[in-house]
Structure 1
Amino acid sequence: MTDQSPDKTIAINVLSSLDQVTAEDWDACACPEAAGGGRPHDPFTTHRFLKALEDSRSVGTGTGWDPRYLVAEMDGKVIAVAPMYGKSHSQGEYIFDHNWAHAYERAGGRYYPKLQIAVPFTPATGRRFLTRPGFEATGMSALIQGAVQVAAEARLSSLHATFCTEAEAIAGAEMGLMRRVTQQFHWINRDYADFDAFLASLSSRKRKNIRKERARAQDFGGTIRTLTGDEIKPEHWDAFWVFYQDTGARKWGSPYLTRWFFDIAQEVLRDDMALVMAERDGQYVAGALNFIGRDVLYGRYWGCIEDHPCLHFEACYYQAIDFAIAEGLARVEAGAQGEHKLARGYLPVQTHSLHWVADPGFADAIARYLEAERDAVDQDIEILTQYGPFRKETREEQQ
């Protein structure tokens, strides 16, 4: 398959494994900012992260996430890539289209399989159309045209790119895709010197409540530590796997990640992670896993084997804020959903996705729905922000 640019021919290849593209070529597009040894903007589209999902069989046969990685080449040089998957369900995406699937199938259509450009099981905003510097417009155009062509030729119902950047969403809409706006809750670092400085920006009642929650959490009878890099040991994953299984079973029916993923993560991803572990009487009783980006801390998983008041808030939200302040990170993304995060300093922000639907009538119905949804999300964000925990003066400074 080829896409004709004005003066060059671009070849689009669909790969079933990352073994078919070198880490150097992939990462030259996914995280060129890390070429000198620094951190990528986020680790989720790096070759090492996606390959860990693949090698651990968290994606692949039987998971409903079948790799269909897109690679665009010009004159034999990789200029753009995208993590694309064939999906037989809508689990692990966090931009929900279950109602679309039900409506289409009630009308006699077949919604699955579909194509998804995404990082599996990861509701974190980042680039999805990954281009080598200097090929941004050409590469993104080639990837979108290639993905639509793959979907159309296979007679699939739809193509989706989830948790893309706002800039990608705007560019994709200009190329004919439908743009969707949803929301998450993020904590923003206003150059706070420490946690107390953050608390000082809150209303008195919210400030007292957070101090009370932190005190209750710390009173569980043990210690809480945040581990990174070589501080993370295999035994920590033995404990965290138990936490993760419990949470996965309650939320999704079964965990998305395999046990093997955490073994591979210990080898290739531990520098990308901040693992919060709560220990009592020599036993780990709770934990929260975060991933570290260049400017952002991404909260991902939480679990426990004992229930203690406020320990979830401490491990997932307050320890994350502490870490972000200490490391000079700009924000904390606390994952999908959760208006309870608002009272803890996490404010609503827009998240973005792009969609292509083959059936013209169905596409028209979705487009109308998305327009109304965007207005509702914008209103919701405006209202929730006004109910945030910050002092009136602080809110005015932030606007």
Structure 2
Amino acid sequence: MASSEITLEAVPSAAHIPADDWDACANPHKPGREGNGLDRAASRDVLVSSCAETKSHYNPFVSHAFFSAVEVSGSATVRTGWAPRHLLAKVGGRIAGIAPCYLKSHSQGEYVFDRGWADAYERAGGRYYPKLQVSVPFTPATGPRLLIRDGENREQIASALANGLMALTGVSKASSAHVTFAPEEDWKFLAEHGFLQRTDQQFHWRNQGFMTFDDFLSTLNSRHRKAIKRERRDAMANGITIHWLTGSDITEEAWDAFFEFYMETGSRKWGRPYLTRTFYSLIGESMAEDVLLVMARRNHRWIAGAINFIGSDTLFGRHWGAIEHHPFLHFEVCYYQAIEHAIKHRLKVVEAGAQGEHKLARGYVPQTTYSAHFIADPGLRRAIADYLKRERAYVAEAGRELAEAVPFRKADEAS
């Protein structure tokens, strides 16, 4: 394939891209839903086995359904400062690659923080906004950002998209382009094309083939094992029960309750929650099988809940909310129930979202996350490059210290 055969185009919404073309680039190995004689867990196991060779895993956040929901619902739009500019790479008129991209007028809802860069640049007389953001809106979960159809020359399509993002920065009069929560291989690839490298830290739980939650607890040291048992017991006091809702179990009444939790907690945490009520109805229509709501009930009403998205081998925890506050209920609904679900359905990883060193004591271990940044202004680029060199060293050292603080039993205790 000659590079001249690749054409680039930016479109103003996911609706301008056929869902089949988008998903062929983003999730070519989406798990089957029915008609194959397998239940959901079994079909997911088959998928994980087949993907071990292709290194391609189903990620619900990069599906056309998710992007369509955040845009159609009014959550990620021009009005909210997320103007879609999805970059397409076409070969012979067919979409061969996509970089999901937004022209942004602020730095909210990204979880990779560059407000300091913006403030410094604007104090020096520059204009940081608009900027381009290659990401899943409001979602700090690692996943592919250069979506490439199977059968295409991946390196050539990825190069075209990387170069296209730099060109789109200039055409859009943007200061920069930011590819956040990218896989490490994309991070390295983009660095070869002039993007600056940034790292950060999250906490993920990893399944070691556990059959029960007690199997997991048995790997922890005595102090943390007892603390988790106490937290789980106290969280369920006062007549609280926990319920898993997925697929057709998620009714509009359940969405109403969850949205109330989201607004109550999000308003206190972020000032203005990002997602609209319509967003939840839309994902309930198009991706309910990919959603797990963990809901807490007391006195015949829902009082708290957490939303998770289900990938081929990963449970992605997103946000939670509550209208009643009980000790340790947050940990139970968000962390321990996610572990229970992952064990039951043989998922390999639970990603519990951004930040939170308190997750370490609950069996979640440090995991480096990656982002890549193209800065158009040479002076700003030099300053940020110097900053990121020091920041990467700090993140690496912090990761080493956190890894030494994991609550797992030492060899002498295990023996």
TM, length-normalised to structure 2: 0.92
Residue aligning to 1:272: 290
CA 1:268 to 1:7, structure 2 compared with 1: closer, same or farther past 3 Å?
Answer: closer
Aligned residue identity for 2:89: A
Cα distance in 2 for partners of 1:262, 1:36 equals 23
Matched position secondary structure for 1:168: helix
Residue aligning to 1:371: 389
- Please, which of 33, 49, 63 is the counterpart of residue 80 of structure 2? 63
Structure 2 runs not aligned, ≥5 long: 34-42, 45-56
Cα distance in 1 for partners of 2:62, 2:284 equals 18
- Please, which of 189, 192, 196 is the counterpart of residue 214 of structure 2? 196
Q: Does 1:80 align with 2:97?
A: yes
Cα distance in 2 for partners of 1:316, 1:36 equals 27
Residue aligning to 1:28: 24
Q: Per-residue CA shift, 1:144-164, capped at 9, x if unaligned?
A: 111110101233110000000
| Per-residue deviation, 1:307 | 0.6
CA 1:354 to 1:395, structure 2 compared with 1: closer, same or farther past 3 Å?
Answer: farther
> 2:3–2:156: 8 Å Cα contact kept in structure 1?
no
> 2:31–2:312: 8 Å Cα contact kept in structure 1?
no
Matched position secondary structure for 1:151: helix
| Per-residue deviation, 1:32 | 0.6
- Please, which of 131, 147, 154 is the counterpart of residue 130 of structure 1? 147
Matched position secondary structure for 2:316: strand
Q: Does 1:117 align with 2:134?
A: yes
> 2:31–2:58: 8 Å Cα contact kept in structure 1?
no
| Per-residue deviation, 1:35 | 7.4
Cα distance in 2 for partners of 1:378, 1:190 equals 24
Q: Per-residue CA shift, 1:354-390, capped at 9, x if unaligned?
A: 1000110110111111111111111101101111111
Question: Identity across aligned pairs (percent)?
Answer: 51
Q: Does 1:174 align with 2:195?
A: no
Count the aligned residue pairs: 393
CA 1:166 to 1:390, structure 2 compared with 1: closer, same or farther past 3 Å?
Answer: same
Residue aligning to 2:250: 232
Matched position secondary structure for 1:44: helix
Cα distance in 2 for partners of 1:31, 1:65 equals 23
Aligned residue identity for 2:132: L
Q: Per-residue CA shift, 1:303-349, capped at 9, x if unaligned?
A: 00001011000000000000001111111000000111010001111
| Per-residue deviation, 1:222 | 2.2
> 1:276–1:315: 8 Å Cα contact kept in structure 2?
yes
Q: Does 1:343 align with 2:370?
A: no
> 2:9–2:89: 8 Å Cα contact kept in structure 1?
yes
Residue aligning to 1:313: 331
> 2:81–2:105: 8 Å Cα contact kept in structure 1?
yes
Cα distance in 2 for partners of 1:394, 1:248 equals 44
Q: Does 1:52 align with 2:69?
A: yes
| Per-residue deviation, 1:138 | 1.5
Matched position secondary structure for 2:273: coil
> 1:85–1:117: 8 Å Cα contact kept in structure 2?
yes
Cα distance in 1 for partners of 2:138, 2:101 equals 13
Matched position secondary structure for 1:169: helix
Structure 1 runs not aligned, ≥5 long: none
Residue aligning to 1:390: 408
| Per-residue deviation, 1:134 | 2.9
Residue aligning to 2:123: 106
> 2:133–2:179: 8 Å Cα contact kept in structure 1?
yes
Over aligned residues, Cα RMSD in angstroms? 1.7
| Per-residue deviation, 1:101 | 0.5
Cα distance in 1 for partners of 2:326, 2:24 equals 45
Residue aligning to 2:204: 186
| Per-residue deviation, 1:202 | 0.3
| Per-residue deviation, 1:42 | 1.2
CA 1:395 to 1:248, structure 2 compared with 1: closer, same or farther past 3 Å?
Answer: farther
Residue aligning to 2:111: 94
| Per-residue deviation, 1:233 | 1.1
Q: Per-residue CA shift, 1:286-314, capped at 9, x if unaligned?
A: 00110000010000011000010110000
Cα distance in 2 for partners of 1:285, 1:35 equals 32
With 96-105 and 6-15 compared, the bigger mean Cα shift is at 6-15
Aligned residue identity for 2:82: W
Matched position secondary structure for 1:182: strand
| Per-residue deviation, 1:8 | 4.3
Residue aligning to 2:12: 16
Aligned residue identity for 1:185: F
CA 1:51 to 1:212, structure 2 compared with 1: closer, same or farther past 3 Å?
Answer: same
| Per-residue deviation, 1:139 | 1.5
> 1:28–1:35: 8 Å Cα contact kept in structure 2?
no
| Per-residue deviation, 1:394 | 9.6
Cα distance in 2 for partners of 1:257, 1:217 equals 28
Matched position secondary structure for 2:353: coil
> 2:234–2:327: 8 Å Cα contact kept in structure 1?
yes
Cα distance in 1 for partners of 2:108, 2:172 equals 22
| Per-residue deviation, 1:36 | 5.7
Aligned residue identity for 1:191: G
Cα distance in 1 for partners of 2:32, 2:149 equals 15
Aligned residue identity for 1:389: P
Matched position secondary structure for 2:62: coil
Matched position secondary structure for 1:277: strand
| Per-residue deviation, 1:6 | 3.2
> 1:8–1:74: 8 Å Cα contact kept in structure 2?
no
Q: Does 1:155 align with 2:182?
A: no
Matched position secondary structure for 1:32: coil
Aligned residue identity for 1:115: L
> 1:14–1:70: 8 Å Cα contact kept in structure 2?
yes
